[in-house]
Amino acid sequence: MTNIKLKYLFLVIGIATFSFLSSCSEKIEKPESFKIILVETSDVHGAVFDYDFINDKKSSGSLSKVHTYVNELRKNNEVILMDNGDILQGQPVVYYYNYENTEDKHICSEVMNYMQYDVATIGNHDIEAGHSVYDKLKLDFKFPWLAANAIDIETGEPYFEPYTIINKKGVKIAVLGLITPGIPKWLPEELWTGIKFEDMVVSAKEWVPLIMKNEKPDLLIGLFHSGYDYTYGNADYNTPENENASKIVAEQVPGFDVIFVGHDHRTWNEKIKNLEGDEVLILGPTSSARQVVTASIEMNLNHEGKYIKKINGSVIEMKDVKPDSLFNDHFKNEFNKVKQFVSKQVGAFEETVDGHEALYGPSVFIDLIQQIQLEISGAEISFAAPLSYHSVIEKGPVYVRDMFKLYRFENFLYTIRLTGKEIDDYLEFSYAGWFNQMTGPDDHLLNFKKDDNGELIFSDRYNSFMLQSQFYNFDAAAGINYIVDLKKEDNNKVSIISLSNGNGFYKDSTYKVAINSYRGNGGGGHLSIGAALEKDEITNRRINSTEKDLRYYMMSWMEEQGSVNPEAFNNWKVIPEEWWQKGKVRDEKLLNSKK
């Protein structure tokens, strides 16, 4: 047995001993019949209040609404309330408590303790907040924060709690937490230093037998911050450290009764069979507390003293649930502090900028981001993609809230070294996922997903036709002049003419490139697949990084500028222009059409 497994075993024995002593002290016999409702929130992304701080309006989902719903359930039911990660990024309320107001108690620990959460699993965007934030929350939460496969490199033990035992009237419920292992591909190591992230299937195969042997739970619940679709990102069933391995764990690791998923912002209520033929319910809500999912479980003892279980899943919409007035009143001071923060003016725009146009070609919206990145970094070339497809910042005063429209995530800004050839290959990779190879003006501009018959695939979950790649992977470049030819096949679409300052661009020269930390750690595959750089080489190419997130520097830049007139760089164009224009109009109508 490896040292790590020995440490795991000692840890499990310790937890089991505590659980045994607790159960002995309670002296509660198992009930012959038992009913319980498990409630999951996931990917809340700061939606604490029934108010959208970014768009200055009421929101459809919030934890204040969830609190109303859960309190009503608790009146007549045994309830376990769980969160599945990614609460620390999104709405400005969490940004404010992550980085601006670090003296007060964090809003998430205050709210989740108030709501009496029983257990949670940490998500990748929670890791993104950095050690200073999640290490403090780990202590402040009055419930266990799980991630069995996030391993402390120094001790070999889980950095967070691996699982927890919840006793309800003599019924023992084990909850195992796992986090998506893709974090090193997306986040700077500074944010997760001292932690390694194991494959979810490997970790589950180690932990489930230990839990079943030492705890002998009546129910085993998976709480996985990981999605259902294991093919996402060109992965497959056997891809090591698969980002979305929840279904694979459900199939390969017997013992689970219910697995709650998250991370993919998609609704799931599916029953699958594991390799022993037992049924496992998989549940997951969409994001921003617009839904919760519930597992209603009825248990009856048979003559062998084992529970026969009836398990049903439900998806509950929050849009028509009233926010809890006592909740809102209790946290009104926190609400007002954040409202004041987002209402601070940081500058003014002389023209409106619209993120929507960035999906179809050159845009002022992306060029503004490129301009800021180039000026902050001093780089020669910049890459950026539309992180917010529907964002519009109107002409006139610009407030802190608007900076969350301009830049959605808390990425750092890297400056890295790339050769001219690698820059060209990077762009070819981006446009291969972005634009279709057109044979005439009646073809699609965008690269849509198609079925075996060549028909576009419509997603009922998103109520839209599906693209081959997510729009946040549609990187364009600034600092170079280039042409994208829609007639050309993939990996031959881009022709780089020169640097935008008039100097020549050479495949064998090396350039300083501004890039966000998600992309700069290999996210999206532009560097790893497109430019064919190994992980260690990607890291070695980094010249420097900002100390804080890019949005912080964007706000400082806006304050220094005062009034900004966003202008197009006009450094790249799409040909044939007639095909591009017609394809753009057609595909815009197609993406805006709903069934």
CATH code at position 223: 3.60.21.10
What confidence score (pLDDT) does residue 304 get? 86
Same domain, 580 and 493: yes
Return all residues near 212 (Cβ < 8 A) that are at least 6 apart.
Answer: 220, 255
Q: Which of 125, 127, 131, 64 is nearest to 102 (CA)?
A: 131
3-state secondary structure of 515: strand
Where among 269, 304, 338 does a domain terminate? 338
Q: Residue type for 478, please?
A: A
Task: Answer for the pair 221, 257: CB distance below 8 angstroms, yes or no.
Answer: yes
Q: For tokens 């019924």, what's the residue?
A: 171
Point out which residues pair with 243 in neighbouring strands. none
Same domain, 267 and 364: no
Q: Output the 3-class SS for 339-373.
A: HHHHCCEEEEECCCEEHHHHHCCCCHHHHHHHHHH
What confidence score (pLDDT) does residue 395 get? 96
Residues 114 and 488: their CA atoms lie apart, in Å, by 58
CATH number of the CATH domain containing 525: 3.90.780.10
Same domain, 174 and 203: yes
Same domain, 282 and 155: yes
Same domain, 268 and 352: no
Same domain, 528 and 505: yes
Residues 484 and 487: their CA atoms lie apart, in Å, by 9
Same domain, 219 and 351: no
Where among 338, 354, 380 does a domain terminate? 338
Residues 316 and 293: their CA atoms lie apart, in Å, by 6
Q: Output the 3-class SS for 157-214.
A: CECCECEEEEEECCEEEEEEEEECCCHHHHCCHHHCCCEEECCHHHHHHHHHHHHHHH
What confidence score (pLDDT) does residue 591 get? 86
What confidence score (pLDDT) does residue 431 get? 98
What confidence score (pLDDT) does residue 529 get? 96
Residues 262 and 228: their CA atoms lie apart, in Å, by 8
Residues 48 and 64: their CA atoms lie apart, in Å, by 6
Same domain, 56 and 199: yes
Domain holding 436, by residue range, is 344-592
Residues 457 and 149: their CA atoms lie apart, in Å, by 35
Q: Which of 202, 204, 192, 208 is nearest to 241 (CA)?
A: 202
Same domain, 254 and 400: no
CB-side neighbour CA atoms (13 Å) of 570: 1
Element housing 65 (H / E): helix 63-74
Q: What b/e sequence results for 532-568 when a residue is b if at least 16 CB atoms lie within 10 Å of its CB, and e otherwise? A: ebeeeebbebbeebbeebbbbbbbebbeeeeebebee
Same domain, 278 and 348: no
Distances (CA, A) of 488 to 430, 448, 494, 544, 576: 14, 17, 9, 36, 11
Return all residues near 332 (Cβ < 8 A) that are at least 6 apart.
Answer: none
DSSP 374: H
Same domain, 376 and 322: no
pLDDT tens for the chain, 595 residues: list them: 444 444 455 455 555 544 444 444 445 688 999 999 999 999 999 999 999 999 999 999 999 999 999 999 999 999 999 999 999 999 999 999 999 999 999 999 999 999 999 999 999 999 999 999 999 999 999 999 999 999 999 999 999 999 999 999 999 999 999 999 999 999 999 999 999 999 999 999 999 999 999 999 999 999 999 999 999 888 899 999 999 999 999 999 999 999 999 999 999 999 999 999 999 999 999 999 999 999 999 999 998 888 999 999 999 999 999 999 999 999 999 999 999 999 999 999 999 999 999 999 999 999 999 999 999 999 999 999 998 878 999 999 999 999 999 999 999 999 999 999 999 999 999 999 999 999 999 999 999 999 888 889 887 766 788 898 989 999 999 999 999 999 999 999 999 999 999 999 999 999 999 999 999 999 999 999 999 999 999 999 999 999 999 999 999 999 999 999 999 999 999 999 999 999 999 999 888 876 5
The structural domain count of the chain equals 2
Where among 322, 338, 354 does a domain terminate? 338
> Measured between alpha carbons, how far apart are the two ends of the chain, in Å?
56
Same domain, 90 and 239: yes
